[in-house]
Structure formats: structure tokens, C-alpha cells
Amino acid sequence: LREIAREKDMKGLHVLVTAGPTQESVDPVRYITNHSTGKMGYAIAKVCMQRGADVTLVTGPTSIEKPHFVNVVPITTAREMFEEVTGRAEEQDIIIKAAAVADYRPRYVSDEKVKKKDDDLALEMERTDDILAYLGAHKTKDQFLCGFSMETENMLENSRKKLKKKNLDMIIANSLKMEGAGFGGNTNVVTVITEDFEKELGKLTKEETADRILDQILAQRGEV
Ligand code: CTP
Ligand code: CA
């Protein structure tokens, strides 16, 4: 009931959230992916919906139940996520990219199962498109762009570089090394970074973290 009775401080806002990993095929039985479970992105989509926003969730494969009252767009590969996100970007007030997108995919996808040989196997990989960098380069007026950053070292410095390079308004930095943070768990420890602001949120559940991130986004947009 508390959820229903929430203040609808995001009413009228169109928000696109991405979540989960992508999967890049090697052959019909194998793919390359990462440890993202999608929990953080799903929590953000749900909280945006509860706060009254019109939410689209572009999601890689996860085992999480689809949130109600959210427009869910399932994708598998980085290329599909690029198409679905960029095709809907223009009408969004806020885009939050929590997905763990593959940076590389196998250059050749075999039609048949790759059979093992006695030798080692080298897999040639090519770069995927950086969706967030594309969005940053094509940002519409008053659109707010929030990225995530996963690091194992030099978290703040590397995250600030991404903020600048991709022309973001905010980046949420995650350290895999922090206790209570990282993949799979129900809690997170993130640092909210903008050009002139930096705040560590402390160990919170992913839903609490989502709420605090949204508070910061609304504050930055000058709506509270
Ligand atoms: N991202 C994206 N498209 C990609 C790769 C990343 O949109 N092809 C987005 C992620 O969704 C995330 C942000 O960029 O919001 C940062 O992702 P991260 O993997 O931390 O950084 P990268 O820029 O990919 O750099 P690196 O992996 O080398 O640290
Ligand atoms: Ca990456």
C-alpha cells in the first residue's frame, strides 16, 4: 500500500531504462555474456513506475519477473539493444543505462556447432556499438542521460572519464571490490557522480539505491 500511495513526482516523464546482460553468439549452442542479473535496472524501472513515470525497460535475458505497468522490450544482443534504445530515444526525458552491454562480439558466428580439435582455439572479436556514447552524441534538448560504470580499480577517476567522454549528465559508479556491492546481491554501494557533484550512497537495497538515484536525477533536472 505504501508503494501505491507514493508521491507521483515523476508523473508525465518518459523514462527509458536498460537492464541485464547481452548475449553474443559464437555458434548455435554457445554465447559470450557477463554476470549482470538485471536487478539494479529492474529496481529503477519499478521505482520510476511507482513514482508515476511512463517507463520503457529494454532488457537483456534475466530470470527476474517482468514488472507490471512497464513497457518491457526484451533483447538478446548489443546490436538489438542499440536498435531498440536508439529508436525510442527521442521521446524520452530521462534515459538510464544500467545494462551490462558486451563491448565485443565474435566476428564470425558459425551456422553449425563448432567442433573441438586437439589444438587451442582463438576467437576473433569485434567491437559492438557504444549505445550510451551514441545517445550522448545525439542528446535532445533537456534530455537527461545517466550511465552506470562498473570498475575493479580507479573507480572514481575512470567513471569521471566515461561521464565526460559519453557526454552524460550523471554516472553511477559501482565497485566490484566493495563489500555489499556488485553482481547478483540484493544490496549495492554506489557513488553518484555529476560534473560538479559526487556522493556515495552507502550500503542500501537495490530499490533504495534506485530511489536515491532518482531523487538525485530530479534534483539535477531542477524539479525538486
Ligand atoms: N554501454 C553501452 N554500450 C556499450 C558498452 C557500454 O551503452 N557497448 C554503457 C553501459 O550500459 C553503462 C556505461 O556504458 O551505462 C558504462 O559501461 P562500462 O562497461 O562500465 O564502461 P565502458 O565504457 O564499456 O568501458 P570499459 O568496459 O572498458 O570500462
Ligand atoms: Ca564495458
CA of 130 to the centre of ligand 1 (A): 7
Q: Is 103 annotated as contributing to ligand binding? A: yes
In this structure, are residues 18 and 96 in contact, taking their beta carbons and an 8 Å threshold?
A: yes
Ligand 1, from 77, 149, 161: best to mutate by most atoms within 8 Å of Cβ? 149
Q: Which atom of ligand 1 is nearest to the CA of 102?
A: 8
Decide: pTM greater than 0.80.
yes
pLDDT above 70 coverage of the chain, percent: 97
Which domains are seen in the chain, by residue range? 14-104+125-220 (3.40.50.10300)
Query: Is the model's pLDDT at 139 over the cut of 70?
Result: yes
Taking residues 125-146, what's their average pLDDT?
Answer: 97
Mind giving me the DSSP string for 58-116? EE-S-SSPPPTTSEEEE--SHHHHHHHHHTTSTT-SEEEE--B--SEEESS--SSPPPP
How many C-beta neighbours within 10 Å does residue 15 have?
A: 25
148 is in an annotated binding site: yes
Higher pLDDT among residues 222 and 92, named by residue? 92
- Cα(146) to ligand 1 centroid in Å equals 12
Residue 52's Cβ-count burial label (10 Å; 0-12, 13-18, 19+) is middle
Mean of pLDDT values over 114-128: 97
| CA of 137 relative to ligand 2 center, distance in Å | 18
Task: Of 46-55, 173-182, 204-213, give the lowest mean pLDDT range.
Answer: 173-182
Q: Which of 23, 97, 139, 171 to mutate to test ligand 1, by most ligand atoms within 8 A of the CB atom? A: 97
Q: What is the ipTM of this complex?
A: 0.99
Cα–ligand 2 centroid distance for 149 (angstroms): 8
Mean pLDDT, range 155-168, rounded to an integer: 98
Q: Is 34 a catalytic residue?
A: yes
pLDDT at 110 over 90: yes
Which atom of ligand 1 has the smallest separation from the CA of 150?
20
Q: Which stretch of 127-136, 181-190, 202-211 has the lowest confidence by average pLDDT?
A: 181-190
Beta carbon of 103 within 6 Å of any ligand 1 atom: yes
54 is in an annotated binding site: no
CA distances from 164 to 62, 63, 64, 160, 161 (A): 30, 33, 32, 6, 5
pLDDT at 1 over 90: no
Does the Cβ of 162 fall within 6 Å of ligand 1?
yes
Mean pLDDT of all residues belonging to the chain: 95
Chain segment 34-44, per-residue pLDDT in tens: 999 999 999 99
Has residue 5 got a pLDDT over 90? no
Is 41 a pocket residue for ligand 1 (Cβ < 6 Å)?
no
Mean pLDDT of 137-161: 96
Residues 16-27 have pLDDT tens digits of: 999 999 999 999
